[in-house]
Structures are given as structure tokens and as C-alpha cells.
Amino acid sequence: MASVTSLSDSVQQHLASALTATRPEAAGADPLLRRSDRADYQANGILALAKKAKANPRELATEVVSHIVTGDLIKDVEVSGPGFLNITIGDRAITGNLAARYADDTGRLGVPHAEHPGTTVIDYAQPNVAKEMHVGHLRSAVIGDSVAQLLEFTGESVVRRHHIGDWGTQFGMLIQYLEEHPHELDHEAGEVSGEEAMSNLDRLYKAARRHFDSDEEFKTRARRRVVDLQAGDPKTLAAWQKFVDESKIYFFSVFEKLDMEIRDADIVGESGYNDMLAETCRMLEESGVAVRSEGALCVFFEDVKGPDGNQVPLIVQKSDGGYGYAATDLSAIRDRVFNLKADTLLYVVDARQSLHFKMVFETARRAGWLNEDVTAQQLAFGTVLGKDGKPFKTRAGETVRLVDLLDEAIDRASAVVREKAQDLSEQEIAERGTQVGIGAVKYADLSTSANRDYKFDLDQMVSLNGDTSVYLQYAYARIQSILRKAGDVRPGAHPELELHEAERALGLHLDAFAETVAEAAREYAPHKLTAYLYQLASLFTSFYDKCPVIKPAPPRDVAENRLFLSDVTARTLHRGMALLGIRTPERL
Ligand code: ARG
């Protein structure tokens, strides 16, 4: 793999050796290198060092500078302020470095893998069987998909787990109803659309509910069904499977609309851990992690108390013997740690479930399933709000169906595309409209840090100005059009050329792609990548304003070099957007 050392890493190395040469005890000290407005980079680390060594910071800085070899990489370094270093990079190094990234034919732009990749199991996109998907499921899917891709890009082994809600007492009612009204879900595979599948389920759910609420005998039969289901009665399981299959038709249609690849093998719902539940409880009880309290098997926590001041336990087994959400999650942890050999467990789940995960993780830690080397973390996301700042609801006060929302985004985006379209056919408009609309929804979700709530505002999302995916998609398509218009002048790096200020700014930012991706992956923070890409598009715009590429025609080598810079920008946009799960159409 052709990985490229970034300019900042090279500078960092130079500084580190200069520091050690100045003061041997400074070996390993962080020079605190940052991009800066005054020069290309600023190093602030000498201040702390001087404090420790009781030295005058400016004098120490001057001494460090005397050990820095200037040349192609570091063109200039000077002491500023109380003891900062201002560092200017040579144009040759900027272009040369980008040329090395451009030459990487793996499409990774020279981005290296992490030094010590591990195995992460990521739990995301987990809707519930026989229920509509809503905006909460959207967030989990969108954030999870991006984080999984970011991690994979850094070389991590990623196992995806879609922990769908496919088990529990509510199925007794559904199964019993189907039992008494057979053929209601009969059809050949592939015969119904996702939309039809969902409306079938919805109809059944409502009918079953009606019976359940009004007919005591049905209620009793439904309750018995739950017992049959948990005992694995074949006929009951077959009926249950019908619900799961029908739901999957619907889920897959939504994931497809979201332009997201979800694999059936990765869907391991709550039912998948049924065989482990009894053992999980036995292990917890035998080790004393869980205790019997009023017949239920409970785990207590010092700091988890109810309004009355009493501790509120995590219930792993109810007093009637039934297992719930917690027992399933604890069993899933065992599976992920001991069978899938994960060292990191990540859960992309609504912040409203934070207490559940806190208790589940602490229980697993007490049981010895999690420890310093094997950790679990909830990547908690906030609520999607309506324009009024309240949780997103329809006018009638119902939760908004995800499909409706996506369709509306696609409609709005298609209108934007149509308005701008010059030479696009109807089919192309529809296709681009989908890519722009879905991209807009994903980008809006990913560009605020996950733990924050955000307002679902379609007008803002598909706006061409501002921090939106459309803006980035247009920047990408614009570069493609420039490359087409350039005719037989092809992109080519010319490291010997002096660069314009705007070219340098663009070049240095392009170089920072590697560290941005590494940071976004390490911190599970796709919003750091969106911020980077947005700035990239802005820097490209000012570069393109100030540095003519085609007209008025610059000298050939300059034109080639500018096309080259444009193409590296396009490739970086493309790669970055792909890591967010967003398409970059060639024409818009
Ligand atoms: N199905 C749940 C819901 O819709 C989310 C599942 C989260 N994952 C987990 N391992 N508990 O709220």
C-alpha cells in the first residue's frame, strides 16, 4: 500500500528531533503543532517545556530553531510571541506530497492504516419488527454506517450487528391473531413492496391489538403464545418467522432508499440470543453480580436511584421467569466478546437509552466480560426536532414515518436539481434528485455532533449555500466539468512551480485529509469529516476564483498543476463523501 507521510507528520518529526537535540530530556515531548493563520503551522509546545526546565521560553525556542534544518520541507521557521514557532512549508513539498497522494492507485490518497487496528462490533440500524421506522432509526443507521466505514478505512476489522427488536411479549398477540386468521401474510417472496409489507403488518397489528384489548379469552391465548414462542414450539416459531420476513421486506426497502448496504447475515436480532439467556442469568447469579429480589434477578448500582431514593435495579429476569431487553443485551455482549472476539463494542443508540447501557456495561464489567482491554461504549445520539424545536411529529402529533420524510427530501432535491439542470434528462434528474436528497438528509444528520439534538429542516438541508451536502456535491461536479473542459490539457504535478497563496491553502488542507479521517474514526465523530469537507469546498472555491485554470489560459505547466490540484480536491471530496455514505454525481 502506497501510504504517504503527511506534511504535518514530517514537520512534527523534524521538531521532535530538534527538541531532543536541544534538551535530551525533551525526547517524546509534544511540540503541539497546529495549522495557523500567521504561518502554515505553529508549534506551541516549547512553552510547557520551558516551564518544566525553568528556562526562558524565547531563548529555548531560539535554540530549538538553530537545530532545525530548513530545506524543501521547512522553508522558514521563526520564533514569535512568548516562544511559539511559526513554520512555513516549501511549495515544492506541498505539491510533491500531493503528487504522492495522487499516485496512490488504491483510492486511499495515501492515507495509512492505524498502527494497531482491532476488532469493533458496531450495533446500529436496529428497527423493530412489525413497526414503522422513524427518525430515531434514521439516525442510528446513518451515523452507524458512516462510523463503520470510517473504522474500516483505518484498517479496523468491523463486524456489523443489527440488533432488531424481533422478540418479546408483543409477538404473542400477533402470532395468535395470525393463527386464527391464517393466510393473512401469505404471498410469494418478492411479490410485495416494502410499502405493502409495512401496511400488511400495520393492519395485522391493529387488528390483533383490538382483539387483545376487547377479548379476555384472546388475551389469555395470546399470553400462552408467548410461552410457546420462548419454548421454541415449531408452529409458533413458523408464524413468528412470517412477521420477521415481512418486516425485513420493509426494512430492506427503506435501507435501499437510504442507499445503504445492510446484509442479512448481519441482522442478528434479540431472538438470536434466546439460547444464551438462561446461561447468562445463571452466570450472573452464581458470581453474585445479580441477586434475587422479590423473585426477580436484579443488579444494583450505588448511583442509580429512583425519585424515592431507593436504588433502581437492572432486571435481568422478571419474577415470572421472563427475560427482557437487558438479559438480551448482556448475552449479546458475551457473544460479541467471546465468539466474535471484539475488543471494542460500539452501540449507536438514542441517548434516551443511556441509563440502560450504563447499567448493562457495568454489569458486564462486574461479570468480567468487559475489562480494560475489551470495552463498550454507547455512541448516543440526540433527538430529531421539528422546526419548532420540539421532537419531530406530524401535524396530528404522530411520529413521522421515515419513508415519508425521505420521499419529501427527494422531491425537494429534485426540484433544486431541475432548476439548475441544463443538459440533464428526466431520468437523470430523478436519479440525481435521489442522490442529492438522501445525501442532504445524511449530511444534516452527520454534520452536528451525534450527541446533540438537531432540527430537521428540509429547506436548509437542500440549500446550495452553506454547510450542506448539495454544496459539496456541486463542488465535486464542478471540478469534473472543469476537467472535461480542459480538453487535452491533463492534470499534472509540477513541484518546481511557485504556488499562489490560495493554492498553498488548498494544498495544505488536502494534506490534512489523513489526519482528519484518523481523528473522526478514533473519536467516532463523522462531523469532523463533514467540517473538513466543507472547508475543502470553500478553499477550492477561493482557489478557483483567484487562480484561472482554463480561462484566461495560464502557461501550460501552471494549467496542468492547477488541474492536478483540482483533481486531488475532487478525489478527496469523493472519498470523504463516500465515508459518509453520500454519493458524488459526476454531473449536476
Ligand atoms: N430496537 C431498539 C429500538 O428501536 C434499538 C436496539 C439498540 N441496540 C441494542 N443492542 N439494544 O429502540
Which part of the chain has CATH 3.30.1360.70? 7-89
Which amino acid residue places its CA nearest to atom 11 of ligand 1? 329
Neighbours of 199 (CB within 10 A): 14
Measured in angstroms, how far is the CA atom of residue 164 from the centroid of ligand 1?
Answer: 6
Measured in angstroms, how far is the CA atom of residue 171 from the centroid of ligand 1?
Answer: 17
Instruction: Name the percent of the chain lying above pLDDT 70.
Output: 100
What is residue 418's predicted lDDT score, i.e. its pLDDT?
A: 93
Q: Name the pLDDT band for 193 (thresholds 50, 70, 90).
A: very high
Mutate to test the pocket of ligand 1, among 123, 143, 349 (most ligand atoms within 8 A of CB): 349
C-alpha cell at 184: 393473512
The C-alpha atoms of residue 374 and residue 341 are separated, in whole angstroms, by 9
Q: Name the pLDDT band for 338 (thresholds 50, 70, 90).
A: very high
pLDDT averaged over every residue in the chain: 95
CATH superfamily name and code, 464-579:
Isoleucyl-tRNA Synthetase; Domain 1 (1.10.730.10)
DSSP string, 405-416: HHHHHHHHHHHH
The C-alpha atoms of residue 574 and residue 537 are separated, in whole angstroms, by 11
Q: What phi, psi does 150 have (nearest 5°)?
A: -60, -45
What is residue 398's predicted lDDT score, i.e. its pLDDT?
A: 81
Helix H, strand E, coil C: the string for 117-175 is: CCEEEEECCCCECCCCCCHHHHHHHHHHHHHHHHHHHCCCEEEEEECCECCCCHHHHHH
CA-356 nearest atom, ligand 1: 11
CA-128 nearest atom, ligand 1: 1
Sheet holding 41-43, edge to edge: 33-35, 41-43, 84-89, 74-80
Contact 334, 324 (CB under 8 A): no
C-alpha cell at 266: 448481519
Mutate to test the pocket of ligand 1, among 126, 270, 345, 352 (most ligand atoms within 8 A of CB): 126
Strands 74-80 and 41-43: unpaired
Which amino acid residue places its CA nearest to atom 4 of ligand 1? 127
Q: Please list, in sequence order, all residues whose beta carbon lies within 8 angstroms of the beta carbon of residue 478, skipping any fewer than 6 positions away.
A: 544
Measured in angstroms, how far is the CA atom of residue 158 from the centroid of ligand 1?
Answer: 19
Measured in angstroms, how far is the CA atom of residue 126 from the centroid of ligand 1?
Answer: 6
Strands 296-299 and 314-317: antiparallel
Q: Nearest Cα to 547, choosing from 506, 488, 492, 487?
A: 506
Measured in angstroms, how far is the CA atom of residue 9 from the centroid of ligand 1?
Answer: 40
Mutate to test the pocket of ligand 1, among 161, 353, 357, 379 (most ligand atoms within 8 A of CB): 353
C-alpha cell at 351: 441517548
Strands 84-89 and 74-80: antiparallel
The C-alpha atoms of residue 175 and residue 204 are separated, in whole angstroms, by 10
Q: Name the pLDDT band for 7 (thresholds 50, 70, 90).
A: very high
The C-alpha atoms of residue 323 and residue 227 are separated, in whole angstroms, by 11
CA-357 nearest atom, ligand 1: 11
Measured in angstroms, how far is the CA atom of residue 419 from the centroid of ligand 1?
Answer: 41
The C-alpha atoms of residue 578 and residue 150 are separated, in whole angstroms, by 10
Is residue 15 within a helix (H) or strand (E), and if so which, with residue range? Answer: helix 7-22
Q: Average pLDDT in the 551-565 region?
A: 97
Strands 344-350 and 384-385: unpaired
What is residue 476's predicted lDDT score, i.e. its pLDDT?
A: 98
Residues linked to residue 80 through DSSP beta bridges, in sequence order: 84
What is residue 1's predicted lDDT score, i.e. its pLDDT?
A: 56
- In this structure, which amino acid lies at residue 106? T
Mutate to test the pocket of ligand 1, among 159, 163, 354 (most ligand atoms within 8 A of CB): 163
CA-349 nearest atom, ligand 1: 7
* Residue carrying the nine cell digits 379469552: 217
Residue pLDDT, tens place only, 82-118: 999 999 999 999 999 999 999 999 999 999 999 999 9
Q: What phi, psi does 121 have (nearest 5°)?
A: -100, 120
Q: Average pLDDT in the 577-588 region?
A: 96
Q: What phi, psi does 391 have (nearest 5°)?
A: -45, 135
- The sign one gets for the Cα dihedral 414, 427, 402, 149 is negative
* C-alpha angle 165-166-167 in degrees, rounded to nearest 5: 100
pTM: 0.95
Measured in angstroms, how far is the CA atom of residue 270 from the centroid of ligand 1?
Answer: 9
Q: Nearest Cα to 144, choosing from 165, 168, 127, 169?
A: 127
The C-alpha atoms of residue 2 and residue 324 are separated, in whole angstroms, by 49
Residue pLDDT, tens place only, 147-165: 999 999 999 999 999 999 9
Q: What phi, psi does 381 have (nearest 5°)?
A: -115, 155
Pocket of ligand 1 (CB under 6 A): 123, 126, 128, 163, 165, 329, 332, 347, 349
CA-161 nearest atom, ligand 1: 10
Measured in angstroms, how far is the CA atom of residue 166 from the centroid of ligand 1?
Answer: 10
Which amino acid residue places its CA nearest to atom 5 of ligand 1? 126
Is residue 365 within a helix (H) or strand (E), and if so which, with residue range? Answer: helix 354-366
What is residue 190's predicted lDDT score, i.e. its pLDDT?
A: 78
Which amino acid residue places its CA nearest to atom 9 of ligand 1? 163
Which amino acid residue places its CA nearest to atom 8 of ligand 1? 163
Sheet holding 344-350, edge to edge: 157-161, 119-123, 344-350, 375-381
CATH of 7-89, one of 3.30.460.10, 3.50.30.30, 3.40.630.30, 3.30.1360.70: 3.30.1360.70
Residue pLDDT, tens place only, 441-452: 999 999 999 999
Task: Please give the C-alpha separations between residue 338 and each of 121, 126, 274, 288, 377, in angstroms, as whole numbers.
Answer: 12, 22, 17, 21, 17
Measured in angstroms, how far is the CA atom of residue 20 from the centroid of ligand 1?
Answer: 51
Task: Please give the C-alpha separations between residue 259 and each of 256, 570, 571, in angstroms, as whole numbers.
Answer: 5, 21, 20
Neighbours of 297 (CB within 10 A): 24
Measured in angstroms, how far is the CA atom of residue 163 from the centroid of ligand 1?
Answer: 6
Query: Could you tell me how far CA 108 lies from the centroid of its own chain?
Result: 18
Contact 586, 477 (CB under 8 A): yes
CA-325 nearest atom, ligand 1: 11
Residue pLDDT, tens place only, 344-398: 999 999 999 999 999 999 999 999 999 999 999 999 999 999 888 888 887 778 8
Q: Average pLDDT in the 249-262 region?
A: 97
The C-alpha atoms of residue 82 and residue 79 are separated, in whole angstroms, by 8
Measured in angstroms, how far is the CA atom of residue 579 from the centroid of ligand 1?
Answer: 24
- In this structure, which amino acid lies at residue 160? R
Interface predicted TM-score (ipTM) of this complex, two decimals? 0.99
Measured in angstroms, how far is the CA atom of residue 348 from the centroid of ligand 1?
Answer: 9
Q: Name the pLDDT band for 230 (thresholds 50, 70, 90).
A: confident
Measured in angstroms, how far is the CA atom of residue 531 from the centroid of ligand 1?
Answer: 29
Which part of the chain has CATH 1.10.730.10? 464-579
Asked whether residue 307 carries a pLDDT value surpassing 70, the answer given is: yes
Neighbours of 488 (CB within 10 A): 4
Q: Average pLDDT in the 55-63 region?
A: 94
Longest dimension (CA), the chain: 90
